[in-house]
C-alpha cells in the first residue's frame, strides 16, 4: 500500500495547497531546519546518538504545539509516563493539552491516534515499537520498517505531522534509522559532543525545504535553547593573540558560521609523530600537513599535531583548509594570528589557494562580527568589489603567501 493517499489525476491548478499551511514553531533554529515550520502530514525522522537530546527537543516541541495549536500526543516507548512528567517538570513545561502515552504495541498506538486525532504525534523511539503482524522483536529492521510505514500511512491520511525518534549508534547503524530515510519527508540528525553544550540539528533530507540547513542549540538546565547568533557564541571564549588559533568562515546550508580552529604542535616522543583531528576530517589534516611540509617548508616530521574545532562542531568544508593550515603553522612558529583576521580558502596539493563558494556572504558575516581583515584566495577575490564592506581583503595566491601575510607582519 502506498504511503500517500491515492486520488485520480488532477490538473495542476486544481490541486489545493490550503492544507499546506505550516504550523508555527517558535524556536527559530528549529523552524530553519524544518524549512519554515511544520507541514500537515509531514513525516520527520529525528536521529542521533543516545543522550544527545532528541527526547528533550521533541517534548519541548510537543508542549509548544499543545499550547498554541491543539492537543498533541507523545508516545514514549522507552521511558515511563512518570519519567516523561519529571523531565517536563525540570523543563518548566505546563501543557494541559499534551498527552503522554507509554506504549510499545503498534496496533494500540494506531488506535489511540485515530480516536484522539491530535495536532502532532511524537513516537520516541521507533526502535522500541513492535507490531503483531511480524514475529521479529522490536528494534529489528523489519519491525522498524513496518511500524514506521504504518504510522506514516495513518498520520498522512489524517494530515497529522509525525516525528519519529531513531537512535544512531557510533558503530553499526544497520538496524537504525537509515532504513527509514527514504520513507519520511524530512530527516534531521542531531550532532554534538556529549560533553559540550552545543548541539547541531542538521537537515540531511527535506521535501519541504532546503537540505544542509543546520540549527544550533545549547543544552542547559532548562533543556534546549536556540543559539540565535552562533558565530558570536563560538568565538566567545577565544583568547586573542594565542598562537595556534585561527578563525574560519564555513557555510552551513545558507548560513555562514565563524568558528575557531585550534592547533597544538609539540615535539614527539614517538618514532611516528601523531596526528589527531577533532572536528575536521583526519585525511584532510594529513593532506594539509603534507602541503605544509612540502610546499611551505614547515618542519612537521618530528611534531605531534593536534587540531580541534571549538564548541564540538564538525567542519567538512574545504573552505576551512586555510584556517586549519594557518593554525598549525602559527603553533609551530609560536606566532599568533592577529585577532582581527579571518581565513577563507581551500588548499590545493600544489600549495595553491583555491576559490570557495559564497565568498561575499562569508565576508559579510565576518564584518558583522567585527573582524577587519580577511585572507582570501586571489582567484575568487578578483571579482569582488572592495567597497560596501569594512573588511580589508588580503588576496593570496598560495598558502605560503597567506602565511607570510598573517604570521610575518
**Window of 53-61, 142-150, 315-323, 372-380 that interacts with ligand TYD by CB under 6 A:** 53-61
For residues 317 and 398, what is the distance between their CA atoms, to the nearest angstrom? 18
Minimum CB separation of residue 129 from ligand TYD in Å reads 15
**Binding partner of residue 91 among ligand TYD, Mg ion, none, CB under 5 to 8 Å per kind?**
ligand TYD
For residues 6 and 1, what is the distance between their CA atoms, to the nearest angstrom? 10
Minimum CB separation of residue 366 from ligand TYD in Å reads 32
**Binding partner of residue 219 among ligand TYD, Mg ion, none, CB under 5 to 8 Å per kind?**
ligand TYD
Distance of alpha carbon 19 from its chain centroid, rounded? 29
Residue 48 binding ligand TYD, by CB under 6 A? yes
| Residues contacting ligand TYD: total by CB under 6 A | 15
Residue 55 binding Mg ion, by CB under 5 A? yes
Residue 91 binding ligand TYD, by CB under 6 A? yes
Closest to Mg ion by CB, 87 vs 361, is: 87
**Window of 44-52, 178-186, 308-316, 330-338 that interacts with ligand TYD by CB under 6 A:** 44-52
For residues 197 and 218, what is the distance between their CA atoms, to the nearest angstrom? 5
**Binding partner of residue 51 among Mg ion, ligand TYD, none, CB under 5 to 8 Å per kind?**
ligand TYD
Cell of 293: 611540509
Minimum CB separation of residue 3 from Mg ion in Å reads 25
Please provide residue 10's backbone torsions phi and psi, each rounded to the nearest 5 degrees: -130, 145
Residue 330 binding Mg ion, by CB under 5 A? no
At residue 274, the 3 state secondary structure works out as coil
Minimum CB separation of residue 145 from ligand TYD in Å reads 21
**Window of 30-38, 50-58, 182-190, 195-203 that interacts with Mg ion by CB under 5 A:** 50-58
β-strands 162-167, 255-267 pairing: unpaired
Find the distance separating the first CA and the last CA of the chain, reported in whole Å: 68
For residues 212 and 117, what is the distance between their CA atoms, to the nearest angstrom? 32
Minimum CB separation of residue 168 from ligand TYD in Å reads 10
At residue 145, the 3 state secondary structure works out as helix
Range 197-226, binding ligand TYD (CB under 6 A): 219, 221-223
Residue 243 binding ligand TYD, by CB under 6 A? no
User: Cell numbers 580589508 correspond to what residue?
Assistant: 392
**Binding partner of residue 395 among ligand TYD, Mg ion, none, CB under 5 to 8 Å per kind?**
none
Minimum CB separation of residue 379 from ligand TYD in Å reads 43
Closest to ligand TYD by CB, 48 vs 318, is: 48
For residues 302 and 119, what is the distance between their CA atoms, to the nearest angstrom? 61
C-alpha distances out from residue 401 to 332, 360, 396, Å: 17, 21, 6
**Binding partner of residue 56 among Mg ion, ligand TYD, none, CB under 5 to 8 Å per kind?**
ligand TYD
Residue 47 binding ligand TYD, by CB under 6 A? no
CA dihedral 146→147→149→154, nearest 10 degrees, is 140
Closest to ligand TYD by CB, 93 vs 258, is: 93
Taken in order 126, 128, 134, 137, is the CA torsion positive or negative? positive
C-alpha distances out from residue 203 to 175, 186, 189, 350, Å: 21, 7, 7, 35
Q: Which residues bind to ligand TYD, rule: CB under 6 A?
A: 48, 50-56, 87, 90-91, 219, 221-223
Amino acid at each position: 500500500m502506498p504511503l500517500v493517499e491515492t486520488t485520480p489525476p488532477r490538473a495542476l491548478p486544481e490541486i489545493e495547497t490550503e492544507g499546506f499551511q505550516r504550523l508555527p514553531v517558535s524556536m527559530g533554529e528549529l523552524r530553519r531546519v524544518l524549512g519554515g515550520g511544520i507541514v500537515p502530514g509531514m513525516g520527520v525522522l529525528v536521529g542521533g546518538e543516545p543522550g544527545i537530546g532528541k527526547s528533550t527537543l521533541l517534548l519541548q516541541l510537543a508542549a509548544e504545539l499543545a499550547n498554541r495549536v491543539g492537543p498533541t500526543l507523545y508516545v514514549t516507548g522507552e521511558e515511563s509516563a512518570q519519567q516523561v512528567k519529571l523531565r517536563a517538570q525540570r523543563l518548566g513545561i505546563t501543557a494541559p493539552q499534551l498527552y503522554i502515552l507509554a506504549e510499545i504495541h503498534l496496533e494500540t498506538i494506531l488506535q489511540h491516534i485515530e480516536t484522539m486525532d491530535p495536532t502532532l504525534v511524537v513516537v520516541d523511539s521507533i526502535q522500541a515499537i513492535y507490531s503483531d503482524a511480524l514475529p521479529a522483536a522490536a528494534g529489528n529492521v523489519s519491525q522498524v520498517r513496518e511500524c514506521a510505514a504504518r504510522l506514516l500511512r495513518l498520520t498522512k491520511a489524517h494530515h497529522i505531522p509525525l516525528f519519529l525518534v531513531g537512535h544512531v549508534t557510533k558503530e553499526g547503524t544497520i538496524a537504525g534509522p537509515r532504513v527509514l530515510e527514504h520513507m519520511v519527508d524530512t530527516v534531521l540528525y542531531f550532532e554534538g559532543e556529549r560533553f559540550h553544550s552545543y548541539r547541531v540539528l542538521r537537515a540531511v533530507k527535506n521535501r519541504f525545504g532546503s537540505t544542509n540547513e543546520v540549527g544550533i542549540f545549547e543544552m542547559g538546565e532548562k533543556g534546549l535553547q536556540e543559539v540565535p547568533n552562533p558565530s558570536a557564541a563560538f568565538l566567545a571564549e577565544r583568547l586573542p593573540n594565542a598562537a595556534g588559533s585561527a578563525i574560519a568562515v564555513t557555510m552551513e546550508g545558507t548560513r555562514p558560521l565563524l568558528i575557531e580552529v585550534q592547533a597544538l604542535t609539540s615535539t614527539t616522543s614517538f618514532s611516528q609523530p601523531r596526528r589527531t583531528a577533532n572536528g575536521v576530517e583526519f585525511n584532510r589534516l594529513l593532506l594539509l600537513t603534507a602541503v605544509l611540509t612540502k610546499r611551505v617548508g614547515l618542519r612537521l616530521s618530528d611534531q605531534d599535531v593536534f587540531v580541534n574545532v571549538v564548541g564540538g562542531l564538525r567542519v567538512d568544508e574545504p573552505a576551512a583548509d586555510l584556517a586549519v593550515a594557518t593554525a598549525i603553522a602559527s603553533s609551530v612558529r609560536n606566532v599568533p594570528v592577529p585577532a582581527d583576521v579571518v581565513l577563507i580558502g581551500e588548499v590545493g596539493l600544489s600549495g595553491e589557494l583555491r576559490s570557495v563558494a559564497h565568498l561575499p556572504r562569508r565576508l559579510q558575516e565576518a564584518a558583522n562580527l567585527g573582524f577587519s581583515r580577511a585572507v582570501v584566495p586571489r582567484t575568487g577575490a578578483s571579482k569582488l568589489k572592495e567597497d560596501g564592506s569594512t573588511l580589508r581583503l588580503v588576496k593570496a595566491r598560495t598558502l605560503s603567501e597567506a602565511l607570510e601575510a598573517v604570521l610575518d607582519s
